[in-house]
Amino acid sequence: MFRKSITLFFGLLLVLTGGATAQGKVATDGGSDTVVIKAAKVFIGDGVALEDVSIRLEGGRIQAIGKEIEIPEGARVIEAVAVTPGLIDANARVDISDDMLSEMLDPNALLLELFGFGDEHVHTGEDICRCDLCPALSLHLDDEVCLYCGWPDEPQPIDLRNPSAVGVSTTSVPTEQASEVVPHTSVLDSIDLGTADLTRLLREGVTTVYVSPDSSAVIGARGMVLRTGGALDDRVVVPLAAVKAVIGSDPFRIGTRNRSPWRTNVSIYTRRPNSRMGVGWVFRRAFYDALLRSTGGNPYGADTSSAEASTVLNRVLEGKVSLRVQARTAPDIESAFRLCGEFGVSFILEDPTEAYLAMVPIRRGGVPVVFGPIFDRPTGHLARTYETSEPRLSTLRDLVASGVPVSLSAQDLRGEEGLARQVMLAMRFGVEPSKALELVTSAPARLLGIDSDVGTIEIGKRADLVLWSGPPFSSTARIESVILGGQVEYTRKGS
């Protein structure tokens, strides 16, 4: 009798736990790499939304989508309110730590020092935050992440005084400064694939980024396409992407070892460019040098670009390497079209803050545009230039309405101002929700040439997905989990 009762008890316990697993959010995976997501709503990323469907992931790919799909024995089952493709930032400023550059404290760390807080603020990884002196103590609420110490999401200690651990340093200039024309260099050679900034982006639903060089050179380095998670040796998607050029004040304003002349005060640190005319000349001269070398000529002079740079620029002229041009003000946007038109070069327009004043050339040129972030008052590196002093919150809406290919970027912004928030702002100021989602999924995937692999939820594509607690990008929705290559890389504590 006792043995029969024990058998009945364990049998009942097995049934109850099995039922709880089937009806709960996550089922045991039984050692299988198969994941099935049962979603109330799936946003494909191309304007289409499906209700009450399941998605089966196997081998890092999407294998099935439908209302009645086979769920293999031992598969991990996850229930979700809403699912979108992993977000893609087409112009991210990812934290780059260069030992040759001077380190700067994070603004949060500076605030801590201002209040006189010290080592007590370093998160210890315990179940409760031991930082009882945190100036953001009021944010230590259930299911809330402290904006200062990262509790409770951070599994490892974080020292806010370590710049590489807390986010993007917007003052670093990693681009090679030996010349204003360095397209033969690459941002790949300066990035830490394990930087904490990529982890932060992943937690915010961003699974793929175009890592942009800084804007300190007239014709700068080549960018790259990168995954924000997974194995380090599998993160690089496109190692050598577009060449970045800048039409504006950044090359002579933030480029190091360049001092603009003042009246008769010209030193050895004064070099071209130190004006917009100088920027235009360096840009034009670089392409003429490349053309001359392609015909066997030998350019000379103080502003001559290197032979290695000319090799890359000739590939740009041939259409084999893409060119991105950062131009924020309306006159700079017009100059970008004029200079590139002079050489018959197509390009991607980056960061056009005053695009609303230059819609005619943008519409006529039909070039792809990477816009953002959306702001009424600039922050970070954008706050240090007058080029962003005249923004308009409806500019993205106007760009979308113009019919040119548009993608949305948060650049160096994270957290409350990150890419998801940028989508919220886009919807707030006139972009349809389905279109706003496209601006951070399928549109940037097409722009980066990776749309056959990511950007939409389709059978055969990589399983890069974001699971939401409510309607994506709504004020009350949170990211519950992020799946990268079929693996759950992040789950919000308490989910």
Question: 258: which residues sit within 8 A by CB, 6+ positions away?
Answer: 252, 269, 270, 271, 274
pLDDT digits (tens, 9 = 90+) for 409-428: 999 998 888 999 999 999 99
Q: Which CATH architecture has domain 25-85+455-495?
A: Roll (2.30)
DSSP states of 119-169: GGGS---SSS---TT-TTGGG--TT---TTT-TTT-SS---TT-HHHHS--
Token pair 């396409």 in the structure block, residue: 225
The fold of 187-250+291-454 is: TIM Barrel (3.20.20)
Q: What is the CA radius of gyration of the chain?
A: 25
Q: Which amino acid is at 172?
A: S
pLDDT digits (tens, 9 = 90+) for 145-203: 555 555 555 544 444 444 444 445 555 677 887 789 999 999 999 998 998 899 999 99
Residue 327 and residue 100: Cα distance in Å, rounded? Answer: 29
Domain boundaries, the chain: 25-85+455-495, 107-160, 187-250+291-454
Identical fold for domains 25-85+455-495 and 187-250+291-454, yes or no, is no
User: 27: how many CB neighbours lie within 10 A of its CB?
Assistant: 20
Token pair 């801590």 in the structure block, residue: 112
**pTM for this prediction:** 0.81
Would you write out the chain's pLDDT as a tens digit for each of its 495 residues? 444 454 444 444 444 444 333 333 444 444 468 999 999 999 999 999 999 999 999 999 999 999 999 999 999 999 999 999 999 999 999 976 544 444 444 455 555 555 555 544 444 444 445 454 454 444 444 555 555 555 555 544 444 444 444 445 555 677 887 789 999 999 999 998 998 899 999 999 999 999 999 998 999 999 999 999 999 999 999 999 999 999 999 988 877 656 666 666 666 566 668 889 999 999 999 999 999 999 999 999 877 999 999 999 999 999 999 999 999 999 999 999 999 999 999 999 999 999 999 999 999 999 999 999 999 988 877 887 889 999 999 999 999 999 999 999 999 998 888 999 999 999 999 999 999 999 999 999 999 999 999 999 999 999 999 999 999 999 999 999 999 999 999 999 766
